[in-house]
Amino acid sequence: MGKLSVIIGTQWGDEGKGKWVDKIAHDIDIVCRFQGGNNAGHTVHVGGKKHVFHLLPNGVLHEGKIIALTSGVVIDPRVLMREIKNLREHVSVTPERLWISTLAHVITPWHVYLDTKSEESAKNPIGTTKRGIGPTYAERDLRNGMRVETMARPEKRKEWLSKRKEADPEFKTFYDQNPALWKEFEVSAAFIADYICPAEEKIRKGLKEGQNVLCEGAQGTMLDINHGTYPFVTSSSTLASQAAVSLGIDPRKIDRILGVGKVYATRVGEGPFPTEIHDQLGQVLRERGNEYGATTKRPRRCGWFDAIAMRFANEVNGLDGVYLNKLDILSGLETIKVAVAYKHPTLGVLNEYPSSSEVLKECKPVYETFKAWQQDIPRQGSFSKLPGAARDFLLKLEEFSRCRILSVGTGVDREDFLTP
């Protein structure tokens, strides 16, 4: 039996999961995306060129590995076609190497339109990426969505579209008024048909035959549809357990669950963010950490490390440990804060993350304050090379989070990290 690993975000997404996927990928045979869609975004450098991927997992650059998108993913074929074409200039992307699940759901131009319309007309928008994610999951759950299997067969696809036109006059109008969008949809649907297969079946078989599988999460724990800050969440489950659901695998077969976070916190989009920094310092972190969305280019809201949220992420995911990025960004600050509890106006001090968004909204963080280190930190090597203040800071993060720190990121380069 091969090993099954899952790596997920512990905060609000954008933790820098890609760096650690690269680090642990050497003995992995199959890398999977198991939830979300092209709301995600990661920047990678291939052949001296910068690329931003939204749908394909980071593992795609490791030529020898199989890449899979499994049942819980929502797929915009137009985006997928673009990414495959882009990538083919640098690495091989064949149907033997890229497995797109028949069971995944399809984002059509209609779903993108619905997402955009509801955000733009809402009194309290969620701040979605307007990529059609929510409407696609909604239709999946209503059981009238389009599955990849349907999209891949021209006559079935046509049937789905005709039925929808008949049932929904607004859909028909949108369809008739946007021929270019639907043409693009048709072309891309035909293009990706070659890559479609019973991916979950093949992954289960691979595992049985000794292949190692890595499931790469998108977004983060605090954006989880069930346990996150509803309604300011994404529409999929971002927790590690979702990997087993999406792959159709015995959850007891997951061998290790790895979390990724940053030594501070960011959030893009609306919703509660107790440790948000509202003054000039937030801007300093944003500029230094280049905290702008890879998908929407929106400036990310910046805040202090939230140990209550990290404890929660540890608990709901069952982490074996966490990789923390961007320690270098904190060098030279005067002081650093870490939220260790919340204070609620009527409930008092809360030591655990409140599952109610209504309660969370009213919480103020209780901080521990640290003196920062003034010198630059080493990019590589072990924690012992760090200034004392940085070492103490990490020890405290570990203690407050009740979670083992596996490694710490110290720069943009994939090799920039320190180990305990």
Q: In the complex, which residues of this chain contact ligand IMP (CB under 6 A)? A: 12-14, 39-41, 126-129, 131, 133-134, 218-219, 223, 232, 234-235, 268-269
We find the least distance from the C-beta atom of residue 223 to ligand IMP, in angstroms, to be: 5
Q: Which of 365, 373, 358 is nearest to 338 (CA)?
A: 365
128 binds, among ligand IMP, Mg ion, none (CB under 5 to 8 A by kind): ligand IMP
Evaluate whether 103 touches 73 at the Cβ level (below 8 Å). Answer: no
Residue with Cβ nearer Mg ion (41 or 72): 41
Residue with Cβ nearer Mg ion (294 or 372): 294
From 29, 42, 115, 227, the catalytic residue: 42
Paired residues of 216 in beta bridges: 7, 33
Residue 405 Cα distances to 83, 258, 400, 409, angstroms: 33, 10, 12, 11
We find the least distance from the C-beta atom of residue 295 to Mg ion, in angstroms, to be: 7
**Position of minimal CB gap to ligand IMP:** 269
Q: Which of 46, 18, 5 is nearest to 320 (CA)?
A: 5
Class of residue 189 by CB neighbours under 10 A (exposed 0-12, middle 13-18, buried 19+):
buried
275 binds, among Mg ion, ligand IMP, none (CB under 5 to 8 A by kind): none
> Which residues have C-beta within 8 Å of that of residue 209, sequence separation ≥ 6?
2
Phi first, then psi, for residue 130 (nearest 5°) are: 55, 35
Q: Which residues of 97-120 are buried (b: 16+ CB within 10 A; e: fewer)?
A: bbbbbbbbbbbbbbbbbbbeeeee
We find the least distance from the C-beta atom of residue 54 to Mg ion, in angstroms, to be: 9
Cα separation, 28 vs 364, in Å, equals 42
38 binds, among Mg ion, ligand IMP, none (CB under 5 to 8 A by kind): none
3-state secondary structure of 343: strand
We find the least distance from the C-beta atom of residue 4 to ligand IMP, in angstroms, to be: 23
135 binds, among ligand IMP, Mg ion, none (CB under 5 to 8 A by kind): none
42 is annotated as an active-site residue: yes
Omega before residue 231 within 30° of 0, cis:
yes
Residue with Cβ nearer Mg ion (61 or 146): 61
We find the least distance from the C-beta atom of residue 294 to Mg ion, in angstroms, to be: 5
Cα separation, 181 vs 313, in Å, equals 40
Residue with Cβ nearer ligand IMP (2 or 16): 16
268 binds, among ligand IMP, Mg ion, none (CB under 5 to 8 A by kind): ligand IMP
Residue with Cβ nearer ligand IMP (133 or 308): 133
Residue 357 Cα distances to 185, 229, 238, 272, 361, angstroms: 38, 6, 17, 8, 6
Binding residues vs Mg ion (CB under 5 A): 14, 41, 294
14 is annotated as an active-site residue: yes
We find the least distance from the C-beta atom of residue 7 to Mg ion, in angstroms, to be: 14
73 binds, among ligand IMP, Mg ion, none (CB under 5 to 8 A by kind): none
From 14, 29, 306, 328, the catalytic residue: 14
Element (H, E) at 14: none
Residue with Cβ nearer ligand IMP (14 or 200): 14
Instruction: List active site positions.
Output: 14, 42
